[in-house]
Chains A and B, each alone.
Chain A
Amino acid sequence: MNAAYEFVTGPLAWAAWGIFLLGSGWRLYSMRQLAMKKDASSWAFMDLGFSLRSIVNWLIPFNALGWRKNPVMTVTTFAFHICLIAVPVFLVAHVVLWTEFFGVSYATLPDNVADIMTLVVLAACLVFAGRRLGQKEVAYITTGKDWLALVIVTLPFLTGFLAYHQVFDYQVMIIAHIVAGEIMLAAIPFTRLSHMVFAAFTRAYMGSEFGGVRHARDW
């Protein structure tokens, strides 16, 4: 067990972070090159001010028309993304690892808060799954890739929750949790999760077009 733990927190962790960071960097870089080469007539209109205007307006819940027309999605998406990022970054058990390996330390979330936030993520995953199964317009367009992304995101939170509450064998569960987390990191650049890398830019582009050329809102 110890050897396995050493392995997943050692080489495997390095690999996962490496794939995530280098992969994301490479995807962003190659997409930028492609955009400059093939989408020059779009690229030419990119504008920082209008990009930020659009991004900010879409970051406010219930501000954009899309959010207002989809209240359940708005609540779910915002809660999901906030918890999805905050829990792994500010969890005491994670910060301890950073301290142990690199000597860095920063603010943490109280464990019971993180626990609730984990449940929020899991509940949101259930809502997403429910929509994919039960809501016609979502079911119609759902593909294997979308299920894959959902499963990849659910697993680290599910295993983390079970490990924390010591359901099943803690040792096994914690290793499963670490592996699930590493799979998620490594999958970001190459699955639907790549919207983490690209969405800001697709939004920025729309904002630039609507702001700079069409003089209209895009939210």
Chain B
Amino acid sequence: MGIQERLIEDVGLRRGVSQLTPEKIEKVVNAVLKGETGARLKTYAETCMRCGMCAEACHFAGSHPGDPSYTPAGKVHQTMSVLLDKKGRVDPDFVYGMAQLAYTECNLCRRCVHLCPIGIDTAYIMSTVRRICHKLGVTPQYMQDTAHSHASTFNQMWVKDDEWTDSLMWQEDEAREEFPGLRIPLDKEGADIYYSVIAPEPKFRTQLIYQAAAIMHMAGVDWTMPAQTGWDNSDMCMFSGDFEMMGRLKRQHFESAQKLKVKRIVMGECGHAFRSVYDVGNRWLGWRWHPVPVIHAVEFYWELIQEGKIKLAKKFPGPVTIQDPCNIVRGRGLQEKLREVTRFLVDGDIIEMHPNREHNYCCAAGGGVINCGPPFKNVRVDGNLVKAEQLKATGVKTVITPCHNCHGGLHDIIHHHKLGMELKFLSDIIYECMEKPEV
């Protein structure tokens, strides 16, 4: 039992490992452990009572009953514990397994925190393992490609500068047929709202930008999108362990908002990007809080609804269920607002998955796992039978899913298990149901 018995070929991992020597590994491991970790890692390593109570937390463990190597403490046992015990004296083959485990078998979802009496943050330990792998140059190829894109273009999808503004103008053009007078204001100084998205939106989900523009327009929001880099709030570098690049990305994002002297940043319906901007990147940069206030789309829509700025022509036919994205629920406590928005939009019941809210299971795509690409698709689909059962038990056809990663993950699970459910962003539903001008 263990990662060494389920290795999957990946070009990036293989090439990285082929360039390692035991000396180099030892040096890098100890440089990270001594230079970048402290009391947190030390107390976690020492006080984990090896009680196994966290086993139940993890969807990977729940989906592989009887295999303890998928439990949170089991994963630490195969990775960080070994590095600490052997003081970094491990061989390249070990690093392959450690990298595969840390990048593809843990979503950094933090559900295990709710099961551990000591309060051990396994996600932090696994991120530190990833950090070491990054420093060793052993990262999954697909994920590394997105990290390279971040480093060269400041967005995740190799979108060129002109393609970005072009996509916005194209969407503006299209939307003006339905909403005469609609604008996607670029670089508008002093706007109330700076709206940022993840790069997959201009790349393949441009309708989301269209919908956001429609909602802003109808709600009469004073908003803008930046024409220059900084518009992409996503962050695969946070997940690959390239924290230096993560810092540059977040700085760019905040500075572009600061240059425009906007009042607030509203981030689109994405979970990991929110984690990066709200919780992680700012700290790397040494900012306790954010130089410009940041809110997630769920909270923004909730505000608009409170202010009566979203007017519906009809309600969306329920019943529906809700996927609680880890990064905005365990990461920001938006579970009740998410339900209030849903109740406003939907005619019919919300059939909850169990468990839900802070205790919900991850989609198994988050934490960069889906970004490790096709070689590891089955790892996350088979690793989340738990979610398939949760979804199936609701018996509904629609899953409200306000997160890009959850969309990707749930889409594959639903397809694989032929559950026949459709996924909706909140903006899909708001757009579909809101009052529109008669043209």
A residues apposed to B, CB below 8 Å = 31-32, 34-35, 37-39, 41-42, 44-45, 54, 58, 64-67, 69-70, 73, 77, 131-132, 135-143, 146, 192, 194-195, 198-199, 201-207, 210, 213-219
Contacts and interface: CB of A to CB of B under 8 A. Distances in A.
B117 interface: yes
B199 interface: no
Given A39-B38, A73-B51, A66 B71 contact: no
A43 to B, nearest CB: 8
Q: Size class of B's contact patch?
A: 35 or more
Contacts of A45: 288
A187 to B, nearest CB: 13
B119 A136 contact: no
Nearest to A35: B39
B343 interface: no
A214 B39 contact: no
A67 B81 CA distance: 25
A65 B115 contact: yes
A133 to B, nearest CB: 12
Contacts of B1: 140
A214 B47 CA distance: 24
A66 B52 CA distance: 10
18 contacts: A31-B43, A37-B38, A66-B115, A66-B117, A67-B117, A70-B53, A139-B68, A141-B71, A146-B49, A192-B46, A194-B47, A199-B118, A202-B120, A205-B40, A206-B121, A210-B330, A214-B279, A215-B332
B116 interface: yes
B118 A218 contact: no
Given A35-B38, A66-B53, A44 B47 contact: no
Contacts, number: 143
Interface of B: 1, 36-40, 42-44, 46-47, 49-56, 61, 66, 68-69, 71, 73-74, 76-77, 81, 113-121, 279, 283-284, 286, 288, 329-333, 335, 355, 358-359
A199 B335 CA distance: 29
Contacts of A199: 47, 117-119
Given A35-B38, A214-B330, 15 more contacts: A31-B43, A35-B39, A39-B38, A39-B40, A41-B283, A41-B284, A65-B359, A139-B68, A198-B43, A199-B47, A202-B44, A202-B47, A216-B329, A216-B332, A217-B358
